[in-house]
Amino acid sequence: MKIRRLRQAIALALAASAVLAGCSSSTAATGDGANTLNFVNDKSWDFKAFSQVSEKDIKVSLNSSTYADQPAFQAFVKQSFRTNKSPGLFTWHTGDQLKLLVDQNLVADTSSIWAQAIADNQIAPGVKDLYTINGKQYCTPISVDDWVMYYDKKTFAKYSLTPPTTWAEMMADAAVLKKNGIAPFWSSGGDPWAFVWFQILLAGTDLQLYKDLSTGKASYTDPKVVSIMNTWLDMEKKGYFSDPGSKTAPETQMKDGKLAMIPFGTWYASTIDQVGLKAGTDWGVFTIPKVNAAQAKTPVAIETAPACVAANSPQKDLGLKYSAWWMTSEAQTAWSKQQNNLPYNPKATAATQTFVDVGKELSNNDKYETYLRYYEATPQVILTEALDQFTGFMTNPGDPTKYLEGIQKVADTYWKSHQ
């Protein structure tokens, strides 16, 4: 699998050089006086529609180039840094993947933007930590999303099920659904989502162990980790997951009545809406219960989609202007309306009652504790191996030891030079 991804990246990196020529090396202006900002991204979101909002509000429009293939996208972005045509704005990830770019002085400093946003109460101060490297901030968030469980309201009603509040209740619901020929949970299949159930089970069982793995203080072969993987294996054996090899999107499986629950970030609302399923009518969400009832708080994975500015981009100033605007209540309200998700700016208004309720619920800091999702929390080289191994585990479920040993072998090598 790693070889296949490498071949894709190499081939698509060559094609990326042609696209680079299409990125303006200077600030362009449209006929109505609005500046045009080149924006390279890996999202399926409708940036064209959002560009109309920014064009009206701050006289800046987006010239978006979207990559559906992750290796191709990363190859393009990294190659652009070696030219004088790096985009004024691009999407990326926080955690180790951002640090790799910062260490090479490739990303513009956004510390002043963050200071102003926090002073203006546009974002929770804790989010800043996800964007902080060596005491400075880099990039700004497009969105800050909590991971929740999406569920098919009609299927739940048909079998007299209610959103569970404990792990035991959720497993009982799964048993009922399986008995009636419906896959209880989406199996995340392969890369890039192979980590999902490992994340849910590990953090839900022992959040400190989850954090220790991300910093090299714990081993993937720890008996506790093996036990958690065996919980995953038990769910596999009970038939609680959809086919990991299915090419049918989970939202389509839910629409067809074949799948009941899908774990994803609040950004997924815009995706599930695209197949005609409506919030509050066809689908709802609930907080994923903790596996270990003894944990004081219910852990909630958090992810954030950064918009970054290349340090050497000729559009750097325009990119920073757009980044600051995207954090405002006006922009976040418009973004939530377009995407139907949960805005991170407390002064913004969520577009749907579903996420108004979610926002209120998750704001209870005495009940919930957020943690960075596995994809960003794990160093890149370990993540790559883990995605391969988790994919193997899902497609050929069995003794998890060999899969965990494969990850730990890479982790041992990495942490020897990074601690």
**Domains of the chain from N-terminus onward:** 2-145+306-358 (3.40.190.10), 147-301+374-416 (3.40.190.10)
Binned at pLDDT 50, 70 and 90, residue 31 comes out as very low
Tell me how far apart the alpha carbons of residues 74 and 13 are, in angstroms, rounded to a whole number.
Answer: 9
pLDDT (0 to 100) of residue 346: 87
pLDDT (0 to 100) of residue 84: 75
Query: Six-digit token pair at 200?
Result: 């849910």
pLDDT (0 to 100) of residue 284: 96
Q: Which amino acid is at 343?
A: P
Tell me how far apart the alpha carbons of residues 321 and 116 are, in angstroms, rounded to a whole number.
Answer: 13
- For residues 148 and 346, the model is more confident at 148
Residue 257 has pLDDT above 70, yes or no: yes
Binned at pLDDT 50, 70 and 90, residue 20 comes out as very low
Task: Among 50-54, 115-119, 324-328, 351-355, name the one with the lowest average pLDDT.
Answer: 351-355
From 343, 48, 46, select the one nearest 37 (Cα to Cα): 48
Binned at pLDDT 50, 70 and 90, residue 34 comes out as low
- For residues 30 and 69, the model is more confident at 69
The dihedral built from the CA positions of residue 80, 81, 83 and 84, taken in this order, carries a sign that is positive
Task: Among 33-37, 97-101, 195-199, 267-271, name the one with the lowest average pLDDT.
Answer: 33-37
Residue 204 has pLDDT above 70, yes or no: yes
Round to the nearest angstrom and report the end-to-end CA distance of the chain. Answer: 29
Query: Six-digit token pair at 133?
Result: 């490297």
Most confident of 219-228, 337-346, 370-379: 219-228
Tell me how far apart the alpha carbons of residues 148 and 136 are, in angstroms, rounded to a whole number.
Answer: 30
Binned at pLDDT 50, 70 and 90, residue 116 comes out as very high
Q: What is the mean pLDDT of the chain?
A: 90
Tracing tokens 């081939």 back to the chain, one arrives at 11
The string of pLDDT tens digits covering residues 62-94 is 999 999 888 889 888 888 888 877 889 999 999
Q: Which amino acid is at 318?
A: L
Residue 37 has pLDDT above 90, yes or no: yes
Residue 112 has pLDDT above 90, yes or no: yes
| Share above pLDDT 90 across residues of the chain, in percent, rounded to a whole number | 75
- For 340: left if phi > 0, alpha if psi spans -120 to 50, otherwise beta; the answer is left
Long-range pairs for 270-275: beta carbons < 8 A, 24 or more residues apart: 270/45, 270/338, 270/339, 270/340, 270/341, 271/44, 272/150, 273/340, 275/249, 275/251
Tell me how far apart the alpha carbons of residues 304 and 92 are, in angstroms, rounded to a whole number.
Answer: 10
Task: Among 17-31, 89-103, 164-178, name the one with the lowest average pLDDT.
Answer: 17-31
Tracing tokens 């577009």 back to the chain, one arrives at 351
Contact 400, 201 (CB under 8 A): no
Binned at pLDDT 50, 70 and 90, residue 30 comes out as very low
Contact 45, 66 (CB under 8 A): no
Binned at pLDDT 50, 70 and 90, residue 363 comes out as confident
Tell me how far apart the alpha carbons of residues 167 and 161 are, in angstroms, rounded to a whole number.
Answer: 14
From 205, 241, 240, select the one nearest 223 (Cα to Cα): 205
| Share above pLDDT 70 across residues of the chain, in percent, rounded to a whole number | 92
Contact 207, 409 (CB under 8 A): no
Residue 331 has pLDDT above 90, yes or no: yes
pLDDT (0 to 100) of residue 79: 87
From 305, 290, 296, select the one nearest 365 (Cα to Cα): 296
pLDDT (0 to 100) of residue 85: 78
pLDDT (0 to 100) of residue 8: 45
pLDDT (0 to 100) of residue 77: 87
Binned at pLDDT 50, 70 and 90, residue 32 comes out as very low
Q: What letters, b where the CB count within 10 A reaches 16 and e where it falls short, cover 281-319?
A: ebbbbbbbbbbeeebeebbbbbbbbbbbbbbbbbbbebb
Binned at pLDDT 50, 70 and 90, residue 22 comes out as very low
From 329, 117, 294, select the one nearest 204 (Cα to Cα): 294
